[in-house]
A and B are shown apart, each in its own frame.
Chain A
Amino acid sequence: MLARAAVGGNTETIGSGGAKLRRSGKAIDAMEKPIQSFGSASAGAAGEPTLAGALRRAGAAWGSFAHGTGVHLQAAGELASNTSADLTCAGG
């Protein structure tokens, strides 16, 4: 099928960018659990109470941050990939 040269541009190219973003989104989203585990495990071994507290919070903060960033990338990928919907949705 030929790429559709829509008002918004070549949808096939936009879609391939979107696929990359979705893949990165999933990869970064999957970092949430290892980061959280790191936070709990390191806090348990730290000894120094202020460091233990900071590490526990780091696991929560950066685990959630990775999840949020993953969701953002999946949203960006969705917008770019779903060419029939996104150009309408995007006003292109």
Chain B
Amino acid sequence: MDGFELPPGDPDALLSSLRPLEPVIKDLSTQSGRVKSGFATALSEWQGARADDFRMASAGVQAQVLAAHDCLHDIHTAVSSYAKTLRSAIHQIKDLEKQAEARRKSATAHTGHGPASAAPDPGQMMAAQHAQTQIAHLQQEAEKLRRHVKTAGQHAARVVEQANNAAVPNSESLTPSEISRKVLSRMDVRSVRSVSAANAWSVLSSTEKIVPRNAVLPDGSVDASKLADDLTGKGGEGQEDGGLLEDVLQVKEDVENYFMRPREIPASVADTVQLLALAGVNYRRVNVKELLNAAKSPSALKAYIADHPNLVRLGEEDKLTERLETISKALTGGEIEKANGFLKGTGAWEKGTKAAGDWLAKTARDEGLGIALKGALLGPDGKLAAGGETMAKIGGKMIEVSPKISEAFSKVAPALGTFGKALGPLGVALQAGTTAKDLADKKYGAALLDGSQTVLMGASLLAPPPADLICGAAALGIMAWQHREAIGHFAEKVGDDVAHGAEKVGGGIVHGAEKLGHVFGL
């Protein structure tokens, strides 16, 4: 029957296709341990000039094995979830069609009883119309399910593309054979026929650049905390350029360990320090190291605050208010095309997010913004803040000190309430909580995205124009992208448009502002 067409795809075949991948993922996990042990064994006795090069290669190769494991795991999860959605939708649509068929037969049976020449019976006509209405409703349900499958498929595609980009950037525009060539070229193994002592160093050359030198331990493994420090600019040595796995290193387990590290700041002043650091970087009056030193005792902190009377200010409030209102109006007033235009026209996303990323990277390195925001993810006990409580407190304090910002966000919040989130300092707080939870749940891909959003929203409050505008709008784009399914259910046409525009934004953030992840170690 028309209107009950099944969505394309074979869920059972899709699930079967995942089976060969499962032992691969499991074995990569096993091999990760063996590789670490193999390098450690060799390095335990290897001394001499090139032992250090071997150590660097060790860290790089270990990162590659981890990356392959994590990315294939993400792909498996996304495809498996999509296959189940597809299977369920197919079953439901078949069931809807059966119901529709039954309605049609029943209506036909009722209308077919009288003689052909007899005038139509009003009761029968009403029954037939009722059946038609019911069938139309069932057809709409089927259409909704097909759209849901499409959205789920696009989401899975996004996850897979993100994983692919860790192996080779901008892989979307390449054919599979081009991708293979590019991956092998980047790994310096394209022309390797066989490995021998003569070519082994040149084969390994690309791996020596993946992990920064100061984050490599004597046994050739990666020092998680130093890596995180380096990524946030705290380390003495910048990250070497050209690392193959930049994206993946941001989200792997080692970085989570950094977040879990106990901090030296006493619980009694932790929140204050975080607030000061967060607000103070805007005016470049805070040296984070000095601040953290002062925070070791409440009296020293009090003296520090006294020396910095203008510390807690946010600045550029009027401009920020105006810009957020523009977005808010467009979203609430149904002027979605305007919103899309606004999002797209903010200065070509790729260029804009890069500018924002550059600013953030510089500021984080110069001023410790990254450290401040990262610090805000931690509770006073040094553990990940449960439910974003710590950040929520900071958000509350920021609203207290800046009524204009509070007002601006209260106007915007209803528009975003549809999606279950609030924009502004509180939104930052909630997002930081989400990031923390993602990390705790080992959802590293999600953490990267939530982390980007958190950072971008934070930056929209602190950055000078035009970076603040770009960051704020970009964060909004990510949020809309993350919630495109809910948007789609809420307002079909509008949602599609937002989702379409926002998907580009969400993708653009991950690809276009790569530095953000480095800065914040996510």
A45 within 8 A of B: yes
A28 to chain B, nearest CB (A): 6
Q: Is the CB of B42 within 8 A of A48?
A: no
The answer to whether A82 and B197 touch (CB under 8 A), given A35-B24, A66-B68, A72-B187, is: yes
**Roughly how many angstroms separate A38 CA and B203 CA in the complex, as a whole number?**
27
A7: nearest chain-B partner, CB-CB: B48
Residues in chain B near residue A60, CB distance under 8 A = 176-177, 179-180, 183
Assess the A90–B48 pair: CB atoms within 8 A.
Answer: yes
Task: Determine chain A's interface SS by DSSP, over half rule.
Answer: helix
Q: A55-B160, A72-B64, A72-B207 are in contact. Are A20 and B41 (CB under 8 A)?
A: yes
Which of chain A's residues have a CB closer than 8 A to the CB of B156?
A: 48, 51, 54
Count how many chain B residues have C-beta atoms less than 8 Å from C-beta atoms of the other chain: 85
The interface residues of chain B lying within 8 Å CB-to-CB of A73 are 35, 61
Q: Is the CB of B58 within 8 A of A38?
A: no
Chain A 16-27 interface 0/1 with B at a Cβ cutoff of 8 Å (1 = within): 111111011001
A50–B24 CA distance with the chains assembled, in angstroms: 24
Residues 134 to 185 of chain B near chain A (Cβ within 8 Å): 149-150, 153-154, 156-158, 160-161, 163-164, 167-168, 171-172, 174, 176-177, 179-180, 183-184
Q: For window 63-79 of chain A, which residues contact chain B by CB distance below 8 Å?
A: 63-69, 71-79
Residue of B8, B72, B184 near A48 (CB, 8 A) is B8
**How many angstroms from the CA of A56 to the CA of B164 in the assembled complex?**
10
Contacts of A44 in B (CB 8 A): 13, 17
Segment 32-57 of A: residues with Cβ below 8 Å from B: 34-35, 37-39, 41-42, 44-48, 50-51, 53-57
Please report the C-alpha to C-alpha distance between residue A20 and residue B150 in the assembled complex, in whole angstroms. Answer: 46
User: What's the nearest-Cβ distance from chain B to residue A2, in Å?
Assistant: 14
- What are the interface flags for B1-31 relative to A under an 8 Å C-beta threshold, 1 for contact and 0 otherwise? 0000001111101101110110110011001
Give, as a whole number of angstroms, the nearest-CB distance from B178 to chain A. 8
CA distance A39 to B180 in the complex (A): 13
